[in-house]
A and B are shown apart, each in its own frame.
Chain A
Amino acid sequence: MLFVLGLHAALAAVAPAAGRRLGRRVFWLCAVAPAVTLVWVLRRASGVLDGRPAEESVEWVPGLGLGFDLRMDGFSLLMVALISGVGVLVFAYSRWYFSDRPGLGRFAGTLTAFAGAMLGVVLSDNLLVLYVFWELTSVTSYLLIGFEDKKGAARAAALHALLVTAAGGLAMLGGFVLVGQAAGTYSLAAILADPPSGAVVSAGLVLVLLGAFTKSAQVPFHSWLPGAMAAPTPVSAYLHSATMVKAGVYLIARLAPAFAATVAFWRPAVITVGLATMLVGGYRALRQHDLKLLLAYGTVSQLGLMVVLVGAGRPDLTFAGAALILAHSLFKAALFLVVGVVDHQAHTRDLRVLTGLGARMPATFVVAAVAVASMAGLPPLLGFISKEAIYEAMLHTGSGVGDLAAVLGVVLGSALTFAYGARFLWGAFAAKSSPTPSGAVGPEVPAPAWPFMAPAALLAVLTVVFGLLPALASGVVEAAGSSLDQGIADLHLVLWHGVTPALGLSALTLAIGAGLYIGRSAVERAQDRMPAVPSAFGAYQASVVGLNRIAARTTGIVQNGSLPTYIGVVLVTVLLLPGVALLGVDLPEGITVAESPLQVAVVALVIAAAAGAALARRRFAAVLFLGGVGYGVAVLFIIQGAPDLALTQILVETLALVIFVLVLRHLPERFEREPWRLRQGIRVAVSAGMGLFVAAFVLVAAGSRTEEPISDEFLARALPEGGGRNVVNVILTDFRGLDTMGEITVLTVAALGIASMVAAGRRRGDT
């Protein structure tokens, strides 16, 4: 498994450079990664299907118990097969979708990186590793949506997706930590085998669900997904239908069997959110004019259904959910690819303008028709089988009001699915009698090249084959279901159940859906008459604007630009917090005031210089007095027998003096007179208090030693272990090398900051 992830990473790294030489053939290169993955997963399939998960583990941070633990069970197998299978097709398709243009290598590399991250999500057994991959998919998705980086709309959509999914991911990380700490392990398998419980775990699960809902575009976070249609169509087909948005579904599916029954809020929350998403998505899809947006809302709707199924945590529903995940990936990826073909050939996706495309590209039409039929749940396709499994399972869950409402909701949502599916087919391919005045597009559209169509066609063929011979797909789905929930026994995918209540519900769905489609103009008018409800997108925009406004206000208050205020706040804080604590502490006994008259003399000079610095009217004089303080302290170091310290102190003091002088040239010669006596008094009080505090603190700290000083050990170990007789230097470069490294890093960053600030100031001409 590591090999597969490494291959993705390696190809992602070389793709940008390769893209410059290969042009759009770079997609062939990158397709190697998912293709190898597909071969690998098929070879490993038989063992996994027999119930022997593949496991691999590499230590990452052993000190934290953080391991790179990978595990592939039946459900992971299904996801890996979908990610790599659809991945190969999308790469092949991209080769034809794009014309040669700069940046294709970068794009292909990012897409490969995304595929690798997605594999990581479904293969990680460690929650923290899963989180890392999870956020990697968010970041790569951001880059892919924003591929058209010259377009403001694409950048805004990318940011929208990133903000929503990364915010949810952050919440999820918090949830993982809560659950992991409660369970005492971050291993997903171990947590599921022995689920922890309690208020902390419940709070953690709320956060985890938040992450899953944002990722899988559930209401009210769904608005980023339609926005993400700004991405090139291969990205939409891959990320926003078949893979990334299923990450949330994946996580819910993993957790539901362990927590749905024991955590009180789980089922109501998951089922309510899922149903609402299904209905909102379907409703909004019915009024879209852009074919891609129509599919996007359709995806939102289907994701809602998946969340309901896998989130309920009941064996037969979980099984139906696994079937739907497979079916949906096949038909939705095919439909997105078809939209890309239509867009590529006709240069528009507006269904009010397209007309008569069915006659111009019959093969495309057939593929789309098969995919739509599967989506709508028509026999004998895979979608019908999964829909039957869903209804069958839902009818057996119970007869409470909630269960009944769930069944009704799913029937209504599926009817909406039928209706927008039909609307999609009609909009893309039908010959319309009255095209809009803006001019019809249709007769002159060229048919697509066959390799361009082949990926979508292959997906459609699979939909038919799995529909007619469900036994082919049944093994994988059964293994996926039973690896999630041991309770699944004796469930199979079957085409014909006989005349059952489930078949009745299917028929009812088709009837309502057909009605909605036939009365589509009435439906559209009704939707237009609906009072405007606050949309999720509006809420997103308002929250971003509000956040910026609050940030600006806070910054205005906190950062008022006055250095004396900043320093004053810092000093007063020190005086209040540790300072007040010092009040109750007794000073140690037997303080030695001075060891030699020389010390007394030097300290007197230092005090005089400090007083001079405080009283000086000219800045330059104050700086010189400060230098005097520093040199005096260096003399104290020499008296104490610390040549290293003294040398450093003198040099630093000298350089600081020079730097001060450099800065002083930009400041007025004299300090400003403080106009208010009160403020002057406050400054004097704070300074005096600070001086007293430091003196008392040093005395107390030096007198309160409880452990053996570490310096003895440093002295003893410097020569044998550090190989040097200068203990100070050995400490700096060896014993405390990490500290030194941190310090020189800070120095570098500070220097870059100074350089760029001065340069920026100079450009504005205000130095």
Chain B
Amino acid sequence: MSRRVPSQVGAHATEGKREPSLILETCVHTLFHTALLFSVFLLFAGHNAPGGGFVGGLVAGAAFVLRYVEGGSGEVQDAAPVPGTVLMGTGLTLAVATGAAALLGDGEFLSSGKLEMDVPLLGAVKATSALAFDIGVYLVVVGLVVVILTTLGAEPDHPIEAEEAP
């Protein structure tokens, strides 16, 4: 998820007013990826165990909140691969496309389909179209958190970048 390399860690925070805390930084970066991984686990496990796109998205959102605590909205912008609005748009498109795909078959809008196949190494894998829909939900929720952190969370004197330009 993060496109940053370790040598740049905290680069953004140093531009701010306060010194970055090394301990906080290290902890957050460790936790960030763990949390993201956990959120993806929740997303995929969701159909049969507690979890799902919404919860997974919230966990991923919490991961971004950690980054925000570390270095403000600039840090969140660096951590997110694309702007939050793009995440939301992609997610919504994916969800709608999944629903519409059912129309191509003989189903109604949003009726779910199942696909079971044998994948080498993994064994029998079952995928339902609901998963794709859930991924859309996940992206929308993550995007929402990122949007909020980068807009409402931006420092009052910190100009908002790129995506909200007039």
Contact = CB atoms under 8 A, between A and B. Distances in A.
26 contacts: A643-B50, A651-B58, A651-B59, A651-B61, A723-B114, A723-B128, A724-B47, A725-B48, A726-B46, A726-B47, A729-B134, A733-B53, A733-B133, A737-B110, A738-B109, A741-B110, A744-B140, A747-B144, A748-B144, A750-B144, A751-B148, A752-B85, A758-B151, A758-B154, A758-B164, A759-B166
Nearest to A736: B110
Contact of B151 (A722, A725, A759): A759
A536 interface: no
Given A648-B54, A725-B48, A755 B95 contact: no
A666 B145 CA distance: 19
Contacts of A522: none
A60 to B, nearest CB: 14
B127 to A, nearest CB: 9
A730 B92 contact: no
Interface in A435-484: none
Contacts of B88: 747-748, 751-752
B71 interface: no
Interface size class of A (residues with CB under 8 A): 35 or more
Contacts of B114: 723
B125 interface: no
Interface in A621-657: 643-644, 647-648, 651-652, 654-655
Most buried by B among A643, A665, A758: A758
Interface of B: 46-55, 58-59, 61-62, 65, 68, 84-85, 88-89, 91-92, 95-96, 99, 109-110, 112, 114, 126, 128, 130-131, 133-134, 136-137, 140-141, 143-145, 147-149, 151-154, 156, 159-160, 163-166
Contacts of B159: 762
A643 B131 CA distance: 20
Interface in A728-763: 728-730, 732-734, 737-738, 740-741, 744-745, 747-748, 750-752, 754-756, 758-759, 762-763
B58 A751 contact: no
A401 interface: no
B68 to A, nearest CB: 7
Contacts of B154: 758, 762
Given A723-B114, A724-B128, A754-B151, A652 B58 contact: yes
B112 A723 contact: yes
Contacts of A754: 147-148, 151-152
A541 interface: no
Interface string A664-688: 0110000000000000000000000
Given A648-B58, A725-B47, A747-B144, A732 B152 contact: no
A767 interface: yes
B84 A751 contact: yes
Contacts of B143: 748, 751
B47 A644 contact: no
A748 B133 contact: no
A651 B61 CA distance: 9
A663 B159 CA distance: 17
Contacts of A729: 46-47, 51-52, 130, 134
